[in-house]
Amino acid sequence: MADHDSTKSNGILHDDDAKTVRENNDLCMVRGITRRDFMKYTAGTVACLYLDTLLTGCGGGNNTSRTQFVQWPISNEVFTTAQRQILPLPVSTNAPQINPRDLELYSEFGYDAWQMGPGLPHTLWNTIAPDYNGAPNVARLLSFFTITDIHIADKESPAQPLYVGWIAESGADYNTSAYSPVVLASTQVLDAAVQTINAVHKTAPFDFGISLGDACNNTQYNELRWYLDVIDGKVITPSSGANIGAATIDYQKQYKAAGLDKSIPWYQVMGNHDQFWMGSLLESAKSLAAHTSDTVINMGYYPDSVANAMNTTGFYMGVIDGSDPRGAVILSGPEGSFSAPPRVAADPNRRSLSTLSDSYTNWVNELFNTTSAPAGHGFSLVKPNDPPACYSFVPKANVPIKVIVLDDTVKGPGQPNYAAGCLDQPRLDWLRNELQAGQDNNQLMIIAAHIPFNPYQNLVTDPTQVASSPPHMNLFIPTPYPGATSVVDDASLLTFLQGYPNLIMWIAGHRHMNTVTPQIHPTDPTRSFWEVETSSLRDFPQQFRTFDIRRNSDNTVSIIITNVDPAVAAVSPATTSRGSAVAAARISASVPMGDATSHSINAELVVQLTPAMQAIIANAGTPV
């Protein structure tokens, strides 16, 4: 069985570090550091790096021949949620109900407060392996991490529907996708996550990493470049247009990203936000023009219908005020309130990577313009005549595990829901061929996609809850629904996948949740598999996930999954973003006021293999 002692093998924080932890209790409870406080606390203390080869910076003095750039280091202590976890502090029952736009009240009433809590143990789930008898882990087969739904956002783009979220009232109708203050520091949160990945890698090396889609928020060129450049460790200018606030506001300052450890290859999955306007609509002439316009987009106010909103007018949607420490939305409201259309500095780098006829080619091609490995981050493996964003790879030549990267987003005009799942006939045929090849070659298989299918609707954190048959959620919209092109729904896709007993796991993002769903075959455990979702780096809980696949002494397989909170420093844009994410979750009612749980799942998921595969893996892996 997995070592569930959080102070041992797979952990970063050990017993010897207890004194250090006590000495750093000032980091264990954070009540929303404001940006005004940031400027006060860090004046003269946040060091700039001196880099000879860079062109502009934050410095001065006598070092005029060398350029200064701020870096945003993470905490000296790096830990997984198995050791310590981020817990939102309950909001007082006496606190008033506040709205998304009440930024000055987030900290005053504790909406953005969080604390460090004790580690979350790994729970054993043998739901789909009834014959498992507690056999211990004996060999490591594969280790990797997933990040997803980073939503790198150009907060000053005039082509986003900020007003819809900004003007919303507190409660379930508040759509954080339209607006959340987390958009201020999306690149810095990714940078903190990358630094945390690097630290974990030094203790427990990864074989690879995979990003499960929605790297961008609004399919813009500059958003994708920021994403790639953070991972490559380049200098980031996290603003656009007039770059207002770049000299004085922390989240606007140009900085040097740390970059992912070059020894870790990373792969990419395509998401709906990577190719559609706000992840919700195929680009139109209106939306395409808005990206690079100097005029804030004018749309209707239809919170329940994005298509109706885009096709009408009446409200200017606004931009984030980059000169405001809190990042308020400006230039928004009813068009009658403006004597002339509100304008911003146009920026050609805001151009959409999608076109009227093609939502993926430009985006995929940009993945080849990086300095990290491998070339194209998987897309070089796409074969001629195969679906454009689908490929497979074998991470370790001496371990019989194959990863199948599946683009399961919708394609083409007239779709009923651009955030839904879809497999048209060419992609279903491709997936069938890949699964059959893995079956024929005696390989265990993992499908990596953006959109999950048939998942539990809510977070199920205890395997004993499975017996109560929690409700599932349907995410694939099939024909003959008008406009739909998917040839499968959730139920038929499950039946299809259970025809391949070597499939052990489907991993996905999209829902910004950590849900684990056992996809149970009614009679044959070897045809059951796990579905594991990873939460978003945008919304609470801002986490990534690690996977440690091990062979057990009885030749079952254990998949040990662990959530990781980015190890933010005491004061940084990423720290402020964490508080904002907690507050947005409270205001939107996705996390109830009294909820003080991490919304994480750490587990050991046991898989029962066929006799043939048990024999194949009997001597595979590195001893643990």
Answer for the pair 67, 59: CB distance below 8 angstroms, yes or no. Answer: yes
DSSP reduced 3-state for 173 = coil
Q: Which two tokens stand for residue 602?
A: 């750490």
Q: Alpha helix locations (H) across 162-244?
A: 162-166, 186-203, 221-232
Q: What is the mean pLDDT of residues 594-603?
A: 97
Mean pLDDT for 445-464 is: 96
| Spatial separation of the C-alpha atoms in residues 344 and 361, rounded to whole Å | 29
Question: Is residue 593 within 8 Å of 90, Cβ to Cβ?
Answer: yes
- Spatial neighbors of 400 by CB under 8 A, at least 6 apart, are 441, 442, 443, 444, 616, 617, 620
What integer is the mean pLDDT of 450-472?
Answer: 95
pLDDT in tens, 483-501: 999 999 999 999 999 999 9
The token duo for 179 is: 């607006």
Distances (CA, A) of 371 to 219, 255, 375, 511: 21, 18, 8, 30
How confident is the model over 2-17, as a mean pLDDT? 36
The helix (H) or strand (E) run that includes residue 404 is strand 401-406
Helix 573-587 and helix 186-203, axial crossing angle in degrees, nearest 10: 110
Placement of tokens 């683009």 in the chain? 407
Mean pLDDT of the region 393-413: 97
What integer pLDDT is reported at residue 67 of this predicted model? 61
Residue 27 has pLDDT above 90, yes or no: no
Query: Who has greater pLDDT, 180 or 58?
Result: 180
Average pLDDT over residues 170-191: 91
pLDDT at 40 exceeding the cut of 70? no
Q: Please, where are the H alpha helices in 204-284?
A: 221-232
Which whole number is the average pLDDT over 526-548?
Answer: 98
DSSP assignment, residue 381? Answer: G
Check if the beta carbon of residue 353 is closer than 8 Å to that of residue 363: yes
Residue 314's pLDDT is 97
Mean pLDDT of 385-413: 97
Locus of tokens 């990042």: 327
The answer to whether the beta carbons of residues 190 and 225 sit under 8 Å apart is: no
Burial of 44 (0-12, 13-18, 19+ CB in 10 A): exposed
For 5, residues 6+ apart whose C-beta sits below 8 A from its C-beta are none
CB 557 within 8 A of CB 138: no
The band of 584, judged by pLDDT with boundaries at 50, 70 and 90, is very high
Listed in sequence order, the residues at least 6 apart from 313 whose beta carbon sits closer than 8 Å to its beta carbon are 298, 299, 300, 335
pLDDT for position 68: 75
- For the record, the structure tokens of 528 come out as 């059951």
Helix (H, G, I), strand (E, B) or coil at 476: strand
Average pLDDT of the chain? 90
pLDDT score for 64: 35
Report CA-CA distances (Å) from 91 to 31, 32, 109, 236, 541: 11, 13, 7, 36, 17
Q: 296 CB contacts (<8 Å, ≥6 apart)?
A: 158, 316, 317, 318, 319, 331, 332, 341, 342, 343, 344
List helix spans (H) across 394-447.
Answer: 425-440
Q: Provide the token pair at 276.
A: 């559609």
What pLDDT was estimated at residue 175? 80
Query: What is the distance between the alpha carbons of residues 28 and 7, in angstroms, rounded to a whole number?
Result: 18
Q: What's 197's DSSP letter?
A: H
d(CA 200, CA 183): 26
Q: Is the distance from CB of 101 to CB of 577 less than 8 angstroms?
A: no
pLDDT, one tens digit per residue, over 106-157 is: 999 999 999 999 999 999 999 999 999 999 999 999 999 999 999 999 999 9
Q: What is the pLDDT of residue 172?
A: 67
Between CA 564 and CA 277, with CA 175 as vertex, the angle to 5 degrees is: 90
Burial of 598 (0-12, 13-18, 19+ CB in 10 A): buried
For residue 52, pLDDT beyond 90: no
Cα 528–533–539 angle (5° rounding)?
165
Q: CA–CA separation, 326 vs 35, rounded Å?
A: 6
Write the pLDDT tens digit of every residue in 284-320. 999 999 999 999 999 998 877 899 999 999 999 999 9
| Structural domains of the chain, with CATH | 15-49+72-623 (3.60.21.10)
Q: Distance between CA atoms of 156 and 220, rounded to whole angstroms?
A: 12
- pLDDT, tens digit, 9 for 90 and up, residues 236-286: 999 999 999 999 999 999 999 999 999 999 999 999 999 999 999 999 999
Confidence tier at 173 by pLDDT (50, 70, 90): low
The answer to whether residue 47 scores a pLDDT higher than 50 is: no
Asked if residue 573 has a cis previous peptide bond (ω within 30° of 0), the answer is no
CA atoms of 142 and 401, how far apart (whole Å): 8
Whole-number pLDDT of residue 61: 35
Between the CA of residue 506 and those of 2, 429, 516, 530, 598, what are the distances in Å?
Answer: 21, 18, 10, 6, 23
Mapped onto helix, strand or coil, the DSSP state of residue 7 is coil
Secondary element (H or E) of residue 585: helix 573-587
Residues 6+ apart with CB under 8 A from 541: 86, 514, 535, 563, 565, 581, 598, 599, 600
Cα separation, 302 vs 77, in Å, equals 45
25 versus 265: which is more confidently predicted?
265
CA–CA dist 373, 390 (Å, integer): 18
Residue-wise pLDDT tens digits, 184-225: 999 999 999 999 999 999 999 999 999 999 999 999 999 999
| pLDDT score, position 24 | 39
User: In the chain, what percentage of residues exceed pLDDT 90?
Assistant: 85
pLDDT score for 303:
77
Which tokens belong to 510?
Answer: 């999209």
Spatial neighbors of 411 by CB under 8 A, at least 6 apart, are 359, 360, 422, 424, 485
Residue 23, pLDDT > 50, answer no
User: Of 51-55, 131-135, 400-404, where does the model show the most confidence?
Assistant: 400-404
d(CA 122, CA 4): 6
Residue 22: predicted pLDDT: 33
For residue 33, the model assigns a pLDDT of 41
Q: Which residues contact 437 (CB under 8 A, 6 or more apart)?
A: none
Predicted TM-score of the model (pTM): 0.91
Q: Once rounded to an integer, what is the mean pLDDT over residues 377-385?
A: 97
Tokens at 115, concatenated: 């604390």
